[in-house]
Amino acid sequence: MRLELATALSVTLLCPIKNSTWSSRLFIMDYMKPLNCFLWMTIFHLIITHSTEDKCQRETEKLRVQIKTLENHYAKRHQLLKNLRNQSAERPETGNGIMNLGDKSVHADCAHVFKSGNKETGFYMIKPTNSTVPVKMYCDMSEGGGWTVLQRRMDGTESFDRGWSDYKRGFGAMDSGTGEFWLGNDNLHFLTSQEECTLRITMEDFEGVRRFAVYKNFKVSDEKNKYQLSFGEYAGNAGNALAGGDHPEVQWWASHQGMKFTTFDSDNDQYGQNCAQEDKSGWWFNRCHSANLNGLYYQGPYSAVTDNGIVWYTWHGWWYSLKSVVMKIRPTHFESNGI
Ligand SMILES: [Ca+2]
């Protein structure tokens, strides 16, 4: 429609009627001039229109071919992806995915996985004795092997300022061998109630120094008892922060021995207010803490209204937030087959 209007306008502009004379011959010639011009312009318009339609058809056909090619390409890729998924389900993973041990392999923890000959670090499906369903857990097969990892901090990408239900079920990056996560308080209870466990905490500061703390008889009670914490003898070079260190006064207000779990929406601590609300984490708070490995991620020394960093008091005090932490357990009487 726009082209037709343009043509009509062109005719008007390009073919004006000249001043006519009273001579009939001249009159006819003058009269015919704009008519000729109009006919020529109409033919020109038809040619252009026809040519444009041809061009459109060719472009449409070209696009149809391209769409068909892309559809075929997509179908091939989709099939390739499907084949790869099927292949990965048929063999054990060697990366960050779950190690597939087959239907017969039901292990109660990572120590059982290790004992059965699977010595590769990674995710396995574990079903603790009292758990109703298998759960994806990260098995650390270093340092003697058989460690079930409960918690990992390393870069602050995961928020640990979470409520009761998140800590109960667990949260975080359970699809990567390098992400941050909390295994879940129910799982902590299942794992530590089926066998006497040793807890090993490895920590690193921003100067690249590594330290560790080991606790025998680490135990977490069930939800009814608010996941109450108990632990035995300490060993290591990071200091006994979980028990409040060596100072009796600090031990009185900060030791985590016998403490119940507190989150911002479930206050079970010994403090008048809520430690989890003030320190932005879920933990076995007292009044409030000498260790808070679920605190906010800072870059080493920090200042804040409360001591809410990733704290291990007996190593770096309350105002230094650690670079990385791993909490892991295995049965106390575990033997690593000589490794
Ligand atoms: Ca309180």
Does the pLDDT of residue 48 top 80, yes or no?
no
For residue 82, what are the CA distances in angstroms to 77, 87, 89, 96? Answer: 9, 9, 11, 19
Q: How far apart are CA 171 and CA 175, in angstroms?
A: 11
Which pLDDT value is given to residue 33?
59
Residue given tokens 């343009």 in the structure block? 6
Q: How far is the CA of 283 from the centre of ligand 1 (A)?
A: 12
What's the CA-to-centroid distance between 274 and ligand 1, angstroms? 4
- Tens of pLDDT along 302-329? 999 999 999 999 999 999 999 999 999 9
In single-letter form, the type of residue at position 5 comes to L
Distance 337 CA to ligand 1 centre (A): 46
> What spacing in Å lies between the alpha carbon of 42 and ligand 1's midpoint?
91
* Ligand 1 centroid – CA 265 distance (Å): 11
Tell me how far the alpha carbon of residue 317 lies from the centroid of ligand 1, in angstroms: 23
- Tens digit of pLDDT for each residue in 207-256? 999 999 999 999 999 999 999 999 999 999 999 999 999 999 999 999 99
4 has pLDDT over 60: no
**Ligand 1: centre distance to CA 242 (Å):** 19
Q: Is-contact 180 152, C-beta < 8 A?
A: yes
Q: What pLDDT, on the 0 to 100 scale, is given for residue 46?
A: 65
CB 297 within 8 A of CB 321: yes
Q: Compute the distance from residue 83 Cα to the ligand 1 centre, in Å.
A: 54
pLDDT tens, residue by residue, 88-124 = 444 444 444 666 565 456 799 999 999 999 999 999 9
Report pLDDT for 98: 65
Cα of 255 from ligand 1 centre, angstroms: 15
pLDDT of residue 134: 93
Q: How far is the CA of 268 from the centre of ligand 1 (A)?
A: 6
Q: What is the mean pLDDT of residues 59-82?
A: 79
Measured in Å, residue 273 CA sits from the centre of ligand 1 at 4
- How remote is the CA of residue 67 from the centroid of ligand 1, in Å? 64
**pLDDT grade for 3, boundaries at 50, 70 and 90:** very low
The tokens describing 309, both together, are 């960093």
Quick: pLDDT tens for 252-302.
Answer: 999 999 999 999 999 999 999 999 999 999 999 999 999 999 999 999 999
**So what's the pLDDT on residue 168?**
98
Q: Ligand 1 centroid vs 175 CA: distance in angstroms?
A: 35
Distance 282 CA to ligand 1 centre (A): 13
Centroid of ligand 1 to alpha carbon of 267 (angstroms): 5
**Which residue stretches of the chain are H helix?**
2-14, 24-90, 110-115, 164-169, 185-194, 248-254, 275-279, 313-316
d(CA 65, CA 83): 27
Tokens (6 digits) for 51: 């040519």
What separation in Å is there between the alpha carbon of 269 and the centre of ligand 1? Answer: 5
Ion ligand 1: residue ranges with CB closer than 5 A: 267, 269, 271
pTM: 0.71
Residue 243: partners with Cβ closer than 8 Å, 6 or more residues away: 231, 234, 251, 255, 256, 257, 290
